[in-house]
Structure 1
Amino acid sequence: MATTGRVLGVDGCRDGWVGVAPDPDGPRAYTAPDLRALVALAEGDGSVGLVGVDIPVGLLDEGWRLADQEAARALGARRASIFRTPVRAALEAPDHASGVRISARASGGGFSVQAWGLRVKVLEVDLLVRGGEDRVREVHPELSFARLAGRPALHPKKTWAGQQERLALLAAAGIDLTRLRGGTGSAAPDDVVDAAAVAWTALRLARGDAVSVPSPPQPAPYGLHAAIWV
C-alpha cells in the first residue's frame, strides 16, 4: 500500500495515545485521550496519509488471529510482548471472566488479563476502522525492531540496555529521538520509543515496502483484515 502525506506511529499510553510523526526536519510527538483526536492534532501540522497503531486491528468472530500466532513465533525471546487477541464478543463482555467463557466457546480457550486490559483501546480502534477510517494499519513495535536489527531485540524494552538498543536502531534508520519535538505528556519513555518504531514501519507502508504477517492478510468481519505489518 503506497500512499502520500505524512505518517503517524501510535502507541497506547497511560492517559490515551502517543504518536510520533517522523518528519524530514525531525520527529514530532503528539498526545491525546483518543485516537481520532490524536490524528486530528497531528493533521494540524500537515496531512496524515497513514496511521500505524500498536493495537489489534481486525477482530474475528471465532478462532484465533493468525497474525498473533505468527508474530509470536517470529519474536522468539520477545514473544511475551504479543497477546492472543480474543474475538470481538469476548472483548465486549462486562468482565474478564465472562469474556473468557465467550472466548472458550468461540475459540476453544481463554485469554490473559493483560489482553483484557487492552480492551478499551482495542474496541476504540475497532469502532473507528469499522466506521470507515481506512488509514489505520496494525503494527507491532517488536516486529519493527526485529526487522531493523535482523533479529529480535536482545534486551527487554523497559531496561536501560533495551532502551539504548532500540534508540540506536531508530537513529540508524533516520528517526533520531534526541531531536524529538512536541509533547509526550504522561507517556512513558518506552511508549514513545514504541510509537517511533511503529512510525518507521508506517513509512515502509507508505512506500509500499512493508509486508504483512500473515501474508496474505487474514480476512476479518466487516470487510477488514487481521494482519500485523512490518
Structure 2
Amino acid sequence: MVRVLGVDACRVGWVGIVLDNGRMTAHVASGIAALVDQASADGPVAVVGIDMPIGLPDNGPRQADQLARQAVWRLRSSVFMTPTRSALGCSDHASASARNRELTGQGMSIQAYGLKPKLLEVDGWARQAAVDVVEVHPEVSFAHLAGAPLDVGKRTHDGVVRRRKLLREAGIVTDEELGTVGRGVGVDDVLDAAVVAWSAHRVAVGCAVTMPDPPEVFSDGWPAAIWS
C-alpha cells in the first residue's frame, strides 16, 4: 500500500491522516505546508488529498460542485459553491458577495467567505507542492464507500457510527485515541480526513474517479475536479 495523506480543515488549522500499509497516524498543524512536512517526516507521501476547493472559477459555478451536490443528495448543503477568484479578492463579505453575484448570479454565504484564508492558502501551496495534490469531498467519498448517499449528518451520533463503520470496512480504524493530536480536533474532522486519505489512496493506485471527467480548467490552469 502506498503512503498517502488526507487533509481536512479544523478549528486549530489542519488535521491530516496518513495511511501507510494499513497503519493510520494523525497529524495537526496550523498551516498546510507544515502539516505535509510533518506527515512526510517518516517517509514521503505519494498523494495529498484535501477537503478544500482547488481551481477557482472565473464567472460561473464549478461543475465539480454541482455534480457533488447531486452525488450526496440529502446532504447537498455540505457542498458549498466555490466563490470566484475575483470575489475572493474583495476585502469584506458584502463586497465579495456582490462581486460573486455580478459574475455568477449568486451571492456568497458568510460561511464560504470565512474559508477565504484557507482557500487561498491551499491555492498558493498546491501549485508549488512537490507532491500530487487532489481535491476530495468527504461526503462524496463516503457515498462512494457506502454505494449510496448517506442520509445522516456527520455531527450526529448515528452519523459518526455510520462513517466509522464504513471506514472500518475499508480497513481504516478511527476509534482509537489520538493523544495530544486529538485535542481541539472534532470527531467529524478526523473522519473526514480519514476518508479523504482513502480517496487519495485510490488516486495513488489509479482507480479513482473524478467529477467532472475530464476535470474543468479555468484561467488559473488547475484541473478542477473532486476525486473519490
Asked if Structure 1 and Structure 2 have the same fold, meaning a TM-score greater than 0.5 normalized by the shorter chain, the answer is: yes
CA contact (8 A) 2:56 2:220 kept: no
Equivalent residues in 2 for 1:152-191 (5 A)?
A: 152-179=149-176, 183-191=181-189
Runs of 4+ off more than 6 Å: none
**2:45 and 2:131 in contact (8 A); partners too:** no
Greater mean alpha carbon deviation, residues 84-93 or residues 165-174:
84-93
1:217 maps to: 215
What is the RMSD computed on CA atoms of the aligned residues? 1.6
Distance 1:27 1:60 in 2: 34
Aligned-residue offset at 1:116 = 1.0
Is contact 1:9–1:197 with CA below 8 Å preserved after alignment? yes
Q: Which ranges in structure 1 are unaligned for 5 or more consecutive residues?
A: none
- State the Cα distance separating 1:44 from its structure 2 match: 0.7
2 CA distance for matches of 1:210 and 1:99? 34
Contact preservation (8 Å) 2:54, 2:123: yes
Partner deviation per Cα, 1:132-187 (whole Å, 9 max, x = no partner): 55521100000010000011112110000000000000000010113565623411
2:111 & 2:13 partners in 1: Cα distance? 17
Aligned partners of 1:146 and 1:152 also within 8 Å: yes
Deviations 1:10-32 (A, max 9, x none): 00000100000122252100000
Is 2:185 aligned against 1:150?
no
* Structure 2 residue runs without a partner (length 5+): none
Matches within 5 A, 1:39-58: 39-58=36-55
Q: Secondary structure at the match of 2:182?
A: coil
Q: CA deviation at 1:51?
A: 0.4
Give 2:203's aligned residue: 205
Contact 2:10 2:186 in 1 (8 A): yes
Residues in 1 aligned to 2:39 and 2:177: alpha-carbon distance in whole angstroms:
14
Is the counterpart of residue 81 in structure 1 residue 78 in structure 2?
A: yes
Q: Give the SS at the match of 1:222.
A: coil
**Alignment-derived partner of residue 194 in structure 2:** 196
Identity across matched positions, percent: 47
2:6 pairs with one of 4, 9, 15 = 9
User: TM-score by structure 1 length?
Assistant: 0.94
Distance change >3 Å, CA 134–CA 219, structure 1 → 2: farther
